[in-house]
Amino acid sequence: MEIEKFVSKTLELLQEEREAEIEETRLWQENTSLKDLQSKGVCLLKLQIASQSTGLYGRVLVVLEPRKHMGVGALPSNNFGPGDIVGLYGAAGCSPTSQIGTGIVTKAGQTSVTVAFDEGQEDFNVETDSLYNLLKLANDVTYKRMKRALNTLNGYSNGPASNLINVLFGYSEPGSQSQTNDLGFFNQDLDESQREAVSFALSQRDFAVIHGPPGTGKTTTVVEVILQAVKQGNKILCCASSNVAVDNLVERLARCKVKVLRLGHPARLLESIQKHSLDAVLAKSDNTNIIADIRKDIDKAFVGMKKMRDKGQRFSFKREIGELRKELRTREATAIAQILKSADVVLSTNTGASNDGPLRHLPKDHFDWVVIDECAQALESSCWIALLHARKCILAGDYKQLPPTIKSQTAASKGLSVSLMERLIKTFGDSVVRMLTVQYRMHSSIMDWASREMYQGRLTAHSSVESHLLKDLPGIACVEETSTPLLLIDTAGCGLSEMEATDEQSKGNQGEVDLVELHIKSLTEAGLKPKDIAVIAPYNLQVDLLRQRLSVRYPTLEIKSVDGFQGREKEAVVLTLVRSNRKGEVGFLAEDRRINVAVTRARRHLAVICDSQTVQSHAFLKSLVSHMSEHGEVRTAFEYLQDLVPQNYTRNPNDGNKTKASSAGGPSSTQQKVKHQAADKTTQKKPAGGKVTGENWHTKPAQPRTVTLEEEEKTKETNKEIRAQVENYLKDPSQEELQFPSSLNSHDRLLVHQIAEELGLGHQSKGEALKSLHLERMKREQQRREESAKQKSAQQKLQGQATNGLLHTAKKSAKGKKRTKAGACDIAAAASAEDDFDTLITAVIKAESVCSFVKCKTSVLLLGQLCPFCNRQFCLGHHVPEVHGCGDQAKAHARMRISKEGVLYAGSGKKDNSMDPNKKAYLQRKLDSKLKDMESKRKLKSKEKSN
């Protein structure tokens, strides 16, 4: 590839990208869609000031956070990061004219953002009780620097980088130097692949690529390369695309006693790094006093000049100031050059290495090597800012992880997102690359998939991590969740559809949020600290939903987009893939590298929550799902959301918005969770197979029990009936909606659901259905228990005492150790609660059939509305939340962005914990028999009608 072609094409694409960025700013300036901007992550609205202080070198540090009294402690998901240039605006006016100041983000957390404002800003005046908007400003400094670097590249001659440029653009062959065989490694622990990479990097004349898959110690290797190069007497310029990565390198190199110097705005540096910054070193240098004196003289001269009326006198003051300034500049330049020259390694971001910065004070050929870490995450143009400084470069990174973020889709597709690393590997092949192959992060089961799909199967897990599990951590209980490295929670067929929104980034899935919550609960209950867990979602909307649900309860739980997690790791990672639709659309997820990054953040445990049916339309995701089901544990979401079964089906298959995903808060205390080991092929719903057959569900009992022949017959019968009913409905265009009676048992409901899914019907769940289903399930269990108790007692020849009640029987059988302990207790508890029974029945039945509003007697059996906040049924006059007392919740909810977009139907309300769950369970079981009675009466009635 010729340089000219590359430069002109890249300049064009950068322009396109720049325009996309400007377009974003324009949107904001038109003041029309601040909320859109917020949902894109570039704007934070209505912040208040938490604190204000004077930071390093006179800069003002302002901590901004969401309004406290809103009850929402977390910031919306956003793309703010340290080093970003931001504008602060009054929230009231919110136009460009209301700008209070511009600053640099120094910290961006989940609950607050810290911004450093420069000392020089006049009128910088913030009040603690006002509200502010923060907007990410397009940073054209970066563009200008990239453009300048490209133009320099185009006409480059006679600089230190001449030969390197020729090689990287294919004008001449890469060469190698004489091999230094016996390297004495500074780090004795390097593995074979790391040693090989170091030797290779040293032996190349022009450039070397170190490919470091996740967790393979890329930074460790880069540090060793730099130490070796310094030992050979080289001066190194070391860069990375992010400030965090640069700081990390500074820290590790400083520990090895190398002379490091960090360039960059001090506000952008980690505190521990600041002593290595140019500003800090300059402040300590011998020249400082002189420089300070000159500054004072200038200030004095200014004051003097203002006092003068006489033109001549003023002129002489002006000249004096000019001279002082010149002296100041040369003295500063000398001081900076001295400091820079004495460092062995100068570190900065790629763009920080620009020649309009401090580096202009150095001679052209000062540096010998340029090392670029995170090279695959950088635009090639930004790499060139650094590369023009030296004759040799080492590029480290992983081009199988996410490329640089690019706003303009067209620019990205025309090649702007291709990193230098990727381009060189394509051009030169493996001969210029050394890959690190031992990884020190993931359990081998987590690693294996990424290794096979992304890294030619070449990765091995170091023995220290290959079989580590959560339960091996101190203080962690050994339960199923902590004993498996891979857990797939499959929502296929559960109707947990995604929420639709116009924007590709705005996808959410409330049902998956429920599942994440339940899984986080199990993990933390087993003793895992929330700070050791990451919740990762590919979509900003889902990140927001998750934060709204979880951040208050688990403030240290990190919930981020995939992009925000690159380069990080956690003991446990919970990944929600969000997409669930009939068309099998996966959109954004189709970027394989995004999924690779998400999965490879996990050290000991990876839980993936997804609709296997939807995501399997994409080959790469399909391979993940199959890997997880082959090597991990698979659960169906039904096991968590047992009550989540739809009741009514409407003929509106595309209306995803209407699909309400809700849960009743997890497995009930009396119900055992069923887990299906992947090996158990007879009961496992195979994700690879896609659909769940009716038979499967019927032969998969919720608890191990024997299915009698009679039951089986009955099941087949209903299966046929329901199928016929649905098919009839499909044939009959006049029938708008097909309703199933609430007397269906849950197996039948599941069947209805599956048949509807198969035939592509939309559906809608109603809370009432959930409740009655729950009751039915309890009832069946009770019956089962009673039956088995009866059988046992029969065996023990105790039939005569049947009238003495269950208590007696249960006790006997408990003695015989044939029944579970829990069962015996349940029944024992029954006797004492007998009295409440009738009251409860009456109350519950009433509650189910009439409006829940105090004293309102209107029936809700035919026309009623479920309040999403309290989960009670109301008549049409009382269903408005404000009317029956859910106003506050509704308001809070309405404030949530998503509800403003009108796409979210709220999940179920909070679980009612007011009653002892055991007692409640008992009462419900008692109630069941009553309900069964009513049910049979209802059936009789309907038979009478049809006759």
Q: Pick what 856 binds: ligand ATP, Zn ion, none; C-beta below 5 to 8 Å, kind-dependent.
A: Zn ion
Nearest to 395, CA basis, from 593, 685, 200: 200
User: How far is 190 from 208, CA to CA, in rounded Å?
Assistant: 18
Amino acid, single-letter form, for residue 327: E
How many amino acids of this chain bind Zn ion (CB under 5 A)? 11
Q: Pick what 505 binds: Zn ion, ligand ATP, none; C-beta below 5 to 8 Å, kind-dependent.
A: none
Site track for ligand ATP across 800-819, x = CB under 6 A: --------------------
Stretch of 359-367, 605-613, 828-836, 855-863 lying at the interface with Zn ion (CB under 5 A): 855-863
* Shortest separation between residue 427's beta carbon and ligand ATP, angstroms: 24
Q: Pick what 867 binds: ligand ATP, Zn ion, none; C-beta below 5 to 8 Å, kind-dependent.
A: Zn ion
Handedness of CA 153, 156, 159, 162 (dihedral sign): positive
Binder of Zn ion out of 450, 875, 903, 927 (CB under 5 A): 875
Instruction: Please identify which residue in the block is written with the tokens 């009955």.
Output: 714
Amino acid, single-letter form, for residue 85: I
Site for ligand ATP in 4-63 (CB under 6 A): none
Q: Pick what 450 binds: ligand ATP, Zn ion, none; C-beta below 5 to 8 Å, kind-dependent.
A: none
Residue 165 is encoded by which pair of tokens? Answer: 């440029």
Stretch of 142-150, 189-197, 319-327, 846-854 lying at the interface with ligand ATP (CB under 6 A): 189-197
Q: Is 870 in the site for Zn ion (CB under 5 A)?
A: yes
User: How far is 929 from 451, CA to CA, in rounded Å?
Assistant: 55
What's the start-to-end Cα distance of the chain, in Å?
85
Query: Looking at 297-376, which runs of residues are DSSP E strands?
Result: 345-349, 369-373
Q: Is 190 in the site for ligand ATP (CB under 6 A)?
A: yes
* Shortest separation between residue 662's beta carbon and Zn ion, angstroms: 14
Binder of Zn ion out of 89, 449, 455, 869 (CB under 5 A): 869
Is the CB of 195 or the CB of 325 nearer to ligand ATP?
A: 195
Residue nearest to ligand ATP (CB): 217
Q: Pick what 451 binds: ligand ATP, Zn ion, none; C-beta below 5 to 8 Å, kind-dependent.
A: none
Report the Cα 844 to chain-centroid distance in Å. 41
Q: 521 with 574: CB under 8 angstroms?
A: no
Is the CB of 536 or the CB of 851 nearer to ligand ATP?
A: 536
Residue 566 is encoded by which pair of tokens? Answer: 């690159």
Is the CB of 188 or the CB of 947 nearer to ligand ATP?
A: 188
Kindly give, in sequence order, each residue whose CB lies less than 8 Å from that of residue 73, ignoring residues fewer than 6 positions away: 66, 111, 551, 552, 555
* Shortest separation between residue 380's beta carbon and ligand ATP, angstroms: 20
Q: Pick what 853 binds: Zn ion, ligand ATP, none; C-beta below 5 to 8 Å, kind-dependent.
A: Zn ion
Is the CB of 438 or the CB of 513 nearer to ligand ATP?
A: 438
User: How far is 717 from 710, CA to CA, in rounded Å?
Assistant: 11
Buried b (16+ CB within 10 A) or exposed e, 446-476: bbbbbbebbbeeebbbbeebeebbbbebeeb
Q: Pick what 191 binds: ligand ATP, Zn ion, none; C-beta below 5 to 8 Å, kind-dependent.
A: ligand ATP
Is the CB of 218 or the CB of 604 nearer to ligand ATP?
A: 218
Residue 180 is encoded by which pair of tokens? Answer: 């230094």
* Shortest separation between residue 618's beta carbon and ligand ATP, angstroms: 25
Residue 420 is encoded by which pair of tokens? Answer: 């230098």
User: How far is 479 from 882, CA to CA, in rounded Å?
Assistant: 44
* Shortest separation between residue 883's beta carbon and Zn ion, angstroms: 9
User: How far is 821 from 684, CA to CA, in rounded Å?
Assistant: 28
Amino acid, single-letter form, for residue 313: Q
Residue 237 is encoded by which pair of tokens? Answer: 């310029």
* Shortest separation between residue 707's beta carbon and ligand ATP, angstroms: 51
Site for ligand ATP in 440-479 (CB under 6 A): 440
Angle between helices 311-342 and 287-307 (to 10 degrees): 160
Stretch of 187-195, 650-658, 688-696, 818-826 lying at the interface with ligand ATP (CB under 6 A): 187-195
Q: Pick what 189 binds: ligand ATP, Zn ion, none; C-beta below 5 to 8 Å, kind-dependent.
A: ligand ATP
Q: 609 with 577: CB under 8 angstroms?
A: yes
Q: Pick what 749 binds: Zn ion, ligand ATP, none; C-beta below 5 to 8 Å, kind-dependent.
A: none
Site for ligand ATP in 103-162 (CB under 6 A): none
DSSP codes joined into one string, 486-539: EEEEE-TTTT-PPBP-SSTT--B-HHHHHHHHHHHHHHHHTT--GGGEEEEESS
Q: Is 191 in the site for ligand ATP (CB under 6 A)?
A: yes
Site for ligand ATP in 427-446 (CB under 6 A): 440
User: How far is 478 from 526, CA to CA, in rounded Å?
Assistant: 7
Site for Zn ion in 886-915 (CB under 5 A): 886
Q: Is 194 in the site for ligand ATP (CB under 6 A)?
A: yes
Q: Pick what 851 binds: Zn ion, ligand ATP, none; C-beta below 5 to 8 Å, kind-dependent.
A: Zn ion
Q: Pick what 440 binds: Zn ion, ligand ATP, none; C-beta below 5 to 8 Å, kind-dependent.
A: ligand ATP
Three-state SS for 583? coil
Kindly give, in sequence order, each residue whose CB lies less than 8 Å from that of residue 221, ignoring residues fewer than 6 positions away: 190, 194, 197, 198, 210, 212, 396, 436
* Shortest separation between residue 232's beta carbon and ligand ATP, angstroms: 22
Is the CB of 308 or the CB of 890 nearer to Zn ion?
A: 890
Q: Is 189 in the site for ligand ATP (CB under 6 A)?
A: yes
Q: Is 878 in the site for Zn ion (CB under 5 A)?
A: yes
Nearest to 888, CA basis, from 865, 869, 860: 869
Starting at the edge strand found earlier in the chain, the sheet holding 558-561 runs 558-561, 533-537, 570-576, 602-610, 486-490, 633-636, 676-677
Q: 447 with 439: CB under 8 angstroms?
A: yes
Is the CB of 61 or the CB of 223 nearer to ligand ATP?
A: 223
Helix, strand, coil tally for the chain in percent (to 5) = 50, 15, 35
Site for ligand ATP in 208-227 (CB under 6 A): 212, 214-220
Is the CB of 437 or the CB of 522 nearer to ligand ATP?
A: 437
Q: What is the DSSP letter of 596?
A: H
Binding site for Zn ion (CB under 5 A): 851, 853, 856, 858, 867, 869-870, 875, 877-878, 886
Binding site for ligand ATP (CB under 6 A): 189-191, 194, 212, 214-220, 440
